[in-house]
Structure 1
Amino acid sequence: MVNASATSASEPDFRDSIPRTVKDLVAGSVAGIVQVLVGQPFDTIKVRLQGQSAANPIYKGPADAFMKTYKQEGAAAFYKGTLTPLIGIGACVSIQFFANEYMKRFFTNRNLTSIPPSERSATKPPPLTTVQLLISGAASGIANSVLSAPVEHIRIRLQVQTTEADAIATGRTFYKGPVDAIRRIYAERGIAGVWKGQGVTVAREILAYSAYFVTYESLVQRYMEREGITDRTKLPMAKAMGYGAVAGFGFWIACFPVDVIKSKIQLDHLDPAKRLYRSSWHCLTHTFRAEGVPGLFRGFVPCMLRAAPVNSFTFAAFEIAMNLLGR
């Protein structure tokens, strides 16, 4: 692996000229692409379970959803709607990591002010507090929501599609692909239609990314302090993957019921006169009355199965990319 020590002291490292913002965004894009490719099949099953009717469900559970999807539509069905997240989630994860890294640097510089100026060059800044890490994660979620709402809206509408006949029978529009979906939704409801579910998406992202980044960064910070490591490039990739898996569990545990409501809102009819839910709160109360607590955890099992591999590879990809770019 490339690192700064591999470069001769007499030769400047070209990576030092790359702006930190560019490094964060590029590394985040790499992590986002890896995240989509690893996680899309799990996410397709999750969304199909979340979007089905409680009164007349199509699938009995995750295993049944997997088998029926595979038998009826083939392996390619698990990657329905992938183009949108591959482009969009790549951008979203770039924003997530950039915002988180920016806030971490902000708080690190702020913590340095507690050290006398004469001692700053020789003293390691105090570690970030849990509150600072939570705020950094929340900021990344808010920034991410601007793109994640439309990206996920388009993706889940494509994910629940089986055949055109089934779409018509259930009262849904059948979209030929992400571009067709964006074009037709915009034509029907304008920009608000494309960004359907923005409010509940912001709520989900704040909860999710606060838990996500505080878990990962706290574990990394504790490990480096315990081992006496000051250079992040020395973090073993096995540790990054393990901590990423734990962070993934934290992400979904923190936000899953809100994610269910988000999916229901985004799958609801575009025409306000034909919608089942008047608001996110109405969707929550309606779901709870009709299905109880289990209704707020539909798709939880495939989501948890997805969390470990997806986030292991996401954080490993980010750390490797940052190391190659020169932290």
Structure 2
Amino acid sequence: MTKRKELAAASQLSCFHLDDFIAGWIGGASSVFVGHPLDTVKTRLQAGKGYRNTLHCVLTIYRKETVAGFFKGLSFPLASITVYNSVVFGFFSNTQRVISKYRYGDGRHPCSMLDLTLASMLTGLVSVGLGAPVDLVKIRLQMQTQTVLAENLHLAGNAPGGTNIPLGPVELPGQRLYRGPLHCISSILQREGVQGLYRGAGAMILRDVPGYTLYFIPYAFFCNLLSPDGKASPHPGSIWLAGGLAGSISWVTATPADVVKSRMQADAQRQRKYRGILHCIQSSYRTEGLQVFFRGASVNAIRGFPMSATMFLSYELSLQFFRSL
């Protein structure tokens, strides 16, 4: 009886591979360097003010902040998104093996499309637990150089006698709410508590559950399409192209939820404007129309390709290296 239990335990452990997490960490680090400049542009377009289009946003950042402006807030994503991607890819791969073990009796059995969908959705759900605070801090740091609206400074309506004076945007070039990632986290915890770190998490669930489904499934589909000979390991070029296409598809379709998430997370730098997801959607629609939910879609499509192509290629090559040892 003891021997049978030991064999069962060994069989369960065989489904868990640590190298998936390590390869995910390496892929995450490489993708951060590639995608962060465009991520900054995307965030400014979605949650900022005064940008006419993507090119105008890029030129404005460069003129006012030089090249360093595109890498604002990089240190925190570099330290955290690597861990985040490690969890995402490690969890997704290991969940596939657990599903295969449960359904087919063998963790190495190829997953069906239904299995991949379930594993992707579970990965999207789990990712929010770690990803919401990471995204929040990144966005708060990226938005620090933005024009501060008068309504966020409690200025409107404060004139003697209660006269309402319309006030336009106010530039405060020297003002910085946060000295860095740790100070940002500390400030949020002091002002809003632990729940403050998860502001926008609901919108992130709406983004990531379908988003990861439209990330991993297209990747698997394109890999199979680009490797008709059925090789176990696709060519690096096929991995790169499949990963890039999957990233663009995922990010473009996730843009509406991403806009809501970015606005809620950028909110409350001085005064909160949105009471929740529905209020953010309604307020954004009333003031800026339907097109606001597709703001940054072109940046997401462009940024999603090199980021995801680098992510998947680094992940797969790292995995092949570890398993060849």
Instruction: Give the TM bin, normalised by the shorter chain.
Output: 0.7 to 0.9
Q: Is the 8 A contact 2:247 2:304 kept in 1?
A: yes
Structure 1, gaps ≥5 residues long: 1-17, 114-119
- Aligned-partner Cα distance in 2 for 1:72–1:310: 26
Match of 2:209 in 1: 206
2:58 to 53, 66, 74: 66
1:143-182 matches, within 5 Å, as 143-162=126-145, 166-167=147-148, 171=153, 174-182=177-185
In the alignment, structure 1 residue 49 sits paired with structure 2 residue 45: yes
- What residue ranges of structure 2 are gaps of 5+ in the alignment? 1-13, 154-174
Deviation string for 1:118-146 (max 9, x for gaps)?
xx8xxx94x42222111111111111111
1:227 to 215, 226, 229: 229
Map 1:115-264 → 2, pairs under 5 A: 125=109, 127-162=110-145, 166-167=147-148, 171=153, 174-224=177-227, 226-229=228-231, 231-232=232-233, 235-264=234-263
Q: Is the 8 A contact 2:46 2:295 kept in 1?
A: yes
What secondary structure is seen at the aligned counterpart in 2 of 1:21? coil
Equivalent position SS for 2:193: helix
* Aligned amino acid, residue 66 of structure 2: G
Structure 1 distance, partners of 2:144, 2:217, is 36
| Alignment match, 1:34 | 30
Query: Which residue of 269, 289, 293 corresponds with 1:292?
Result: 289
* 1:206-252 deviation digits (Å, cap 9, x = unpaired): 0110110111122224545x3032x32xx111000000011102211
Distance in 2 between the 1:218 and 1:135 partners?
A: 16
Equivalent residues of 1:167, 1:174 under 8 A apart = no
Name the SS for the 2:29 alignment partner: helix
**1:85 and 2:77 equivalent?**
yes
TM-superposed CA distance for 1:298, in Å, is 1.1
Deviation at 1:173, TM superposition (A): 6.1
2:254 match: secondary structure: helix
Residue aligning to 2:158: none
Verify the 8 A CA contact 2:29 2:81 in the aligned structure 1.
Answer: yes
Measured after TM superposition, the shift of residue 19 of structure 1 is: 9.4
Structure 2 counterpart of 1:137, one-letter code: S
Distance 1:294 1:168 in 2: 22
Higher relative contact order (CA 8 A, sep 6+): 1
RMSD: 2.4
Kindly report which structure 2 residues correspond to 1:9-28, keeping only aligned pairs within 5 A, or say none: 20-28=16-24
What is the correspondence of 1:295-314 to structure 2 with a 5 Å cutoff? Answer: 295-314=292-311
Give the whole-Å Cα distance in 1 for the aligned partners of 2:212 and 2:93: 13
Deviation at 1:102, TM superposition (A): 1.3
* TM-score scaled by length of structure 1: 0.82
Counterpart of 2:220, as a letter, is E
Structure 1 residues 147-181: Cα deviation after superposition (integer angstroms, max 9, x where no partner): 11001001011111227xx5596549621111111
The worse-fitting range, judged by mean Cα deviation, of 69-78 and 99-108 is 99-108
How many residue pairs end up in the alignment?
289
CA distance in 1, matches of 2:78, 2:53: 27
Cα pair 1:167 1:173 within 8 Å, conserved: no
Amino acid at match of 1:266: Q
SS in 2 for 1:204: helix
Give per-residue Cα distances to partners, 1:243-280, cap 9 Å, x unaligned.
00111022113311000000111111168xx4211110
For the 8 Å contact 1:24–1:101, the answer to whether it is kept is: yes
Pair 1:283 & 2:275 matched: no
- CA–CA distance in 1 between the matches of 2:77 and 2:236? 26
Q: How far off is 1:198 after superposition?
A: 1.6
State the distance in 1 between where 2:252 and 2:176 align.
32
